[in-house]
């Protein structure tokens, strides 16, 4: 569990570097081409890394439809992020994606039976409030923000589905297959942008692919080792690195509200680590508790009546 927390912290700390490179490339390239470039280079890097480490690369014999859905979700989410980065400041675009861990938690608790504790719930809420404090100054609900929020919802669905598909492929195979499959999906939409690519963009493209490969692999590994509810608060540490990148690269100075928000994010992450009894248990357990309280299970009652 703790290793999952460490991996997600490392992943979200690196993510804004890729976002900054995407914003830079977005000045001259189309969003579809940037996402294609991002995942194609990441896929090639993953293949090279797998060969160098002797890690076997596999393609799933079962669940290919699920893999296709997860890949489509992350490609759509990243495309919307690039579009948002061209319309609004980096911190606001990143902030829109803060809805992702909440969506992942809700999906996992509602449909996959993950347990939600008071500590995890309070940690997620405190971290979300901290993120709101950071985004509040000057953050307006505009088209770019709506696009970022939509992308965050898609990313949340991807994270929840990735958690449930953890036993299908090893992490390196998941990274390789999703990156290369995703780049193939985007190729028809990205083809027109290839004519505008020139030699000076090679290094930014390699950097973008490298950061993408690292963050994608770390995220998959994290969600294979910990519940979505536990990882949700730590996802907001993305903003810590985003503010640093914004300050260094785009000359964005954090406000007092941002400092308070960061403090809340850190506190929320620490709160989520507290061990506490399950209060929400699961949706399934809540139904069973309700049936026990009324002394009757509707499904069993109907079956008994049919027998009689």
Nearest to 168 by CA among 224, 213, 225: 224
pTM over 0.75: no
pLDDT by residue (tens digit) across 45-65? 989 988 988 888 888 777 788
Question: Per-domain residue ranges for the chain?
Answer: 2-276, 280-308
Three-class secondary structure assignment of 233-285: HHHHHHHHHHHHHHHHHHCCCCCHHHHHHHHHHHHHHHHCCCCCCEEEECHHH
Q: CA-to-CA distance for 58 and 61, rounded, in angstroms?
A: 9
Residue 251 tokens, joined: 């000359």
Residue 235 tokens, joined: 């996802």
Determine the pLDDT at residue 139: 47
Determine the pLDDT at residue 168: 63
Q: CA-to-CA distance for 81 and 39, rounded, in angstroms?
A: 14
Residue 197 tokens, joined: 């690519």
Q: CA-to-CA distance for 53 and 50, rounded, in angstroms?
A: 5
**Residue 32 · residue 212 · CB < 8 Å:** no
Model confidence at 98: pLDDT above 50:
yes
Which residues are registered as beta bridge partners of 116? 281
Query: Angle at CA 49, nearest 5°, toward 201 and 20?
Result: 35
pLDDT by residue (tens digit) across 178-196? 899 999 999 999 988 887 7
Determine the pLDDT at residue 229: 66
Q: CA-to-CA distance for 267 and 130, rounded, in angstroms?
A: 9
Three-class secondary structure assignment of 36-53: HHHHHHHHHHHHHHHHHH
Q: Is 61 left (phi over 0), alpha (psi -120 to 50) or beta?
A: alpha
pLDDT by residue (tens digit) across 116-163? 778 778 877 887 787 777 666 554 456 777 888 889 889 989 888 877
CA 63 distance to own-chain centroid: 21
Nearest to 183 by CA among 150, 213, 215: 213
Q: CA-to-CA distance for 120 and 275, rounded, in angstroms?
A: 9
């Amino acid at each position: 569990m703790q290793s999952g927390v460490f991996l997600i912290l490392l992943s979200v700390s690196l993510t804004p570097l890729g976002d900054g490179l995407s914003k830079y490339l977005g000045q001259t390239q189309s969003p579809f081409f940037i996402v294609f470039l991002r995942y194609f280079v990441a896929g090639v890097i993953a293949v090279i890394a797998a060969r160098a480490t002797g890690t076997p690369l596999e393609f799933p014999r079962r669940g290919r439809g699920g893999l296709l859905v997860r890949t489509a979700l992350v490609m759509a989410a990243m495309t919307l992020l690039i579009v948002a980065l061209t319309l609004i400041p980096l911190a606001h675009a990143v902030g829109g994606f803060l809805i992702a861990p909440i969506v992942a938690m809700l999906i996992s608790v509602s449909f996959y039976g993950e347990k939600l504790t008071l500590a995890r719930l309070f940690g997620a809420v405190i971290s979300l409030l901290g993120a709101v404090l950071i985004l509040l100054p000057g953050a307006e609900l505009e088209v770019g923000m709506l696009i970022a929020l939509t992308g965050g919802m898609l990313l949340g669905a991807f994270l929840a589905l990735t958690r449930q598909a953890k036993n299908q492929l090893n992490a390196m195979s998941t990274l390789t297959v999703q990156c290369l499959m995703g780049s193939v999906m985007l190729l028809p939409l990205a083809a027109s942008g290839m004519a505008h690519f020139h030699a000076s963009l090679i290094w930014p493209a390699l950097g973008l692919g490298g950061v993408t490969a690292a963050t994608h692999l770390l995220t998959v590994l994290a969600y294979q080792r910990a519940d979505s509810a536990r990882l949700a608060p730590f996802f907001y540490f993305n903003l810590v690195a985003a503010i640093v990148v914004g300050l260094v690269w785009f000359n964005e100075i954090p406000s007092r509200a941002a400092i308070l928000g960061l403090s809340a994010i850190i506190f929320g992450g620490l709160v989520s680590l507290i061990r506490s009894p399950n209060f929400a248990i699961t949706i399934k357990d809540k139904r069973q508790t309700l049936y026990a309280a009324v002394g009757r299970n509707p499904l069993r009652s109907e079956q008994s009546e049919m027998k009689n």
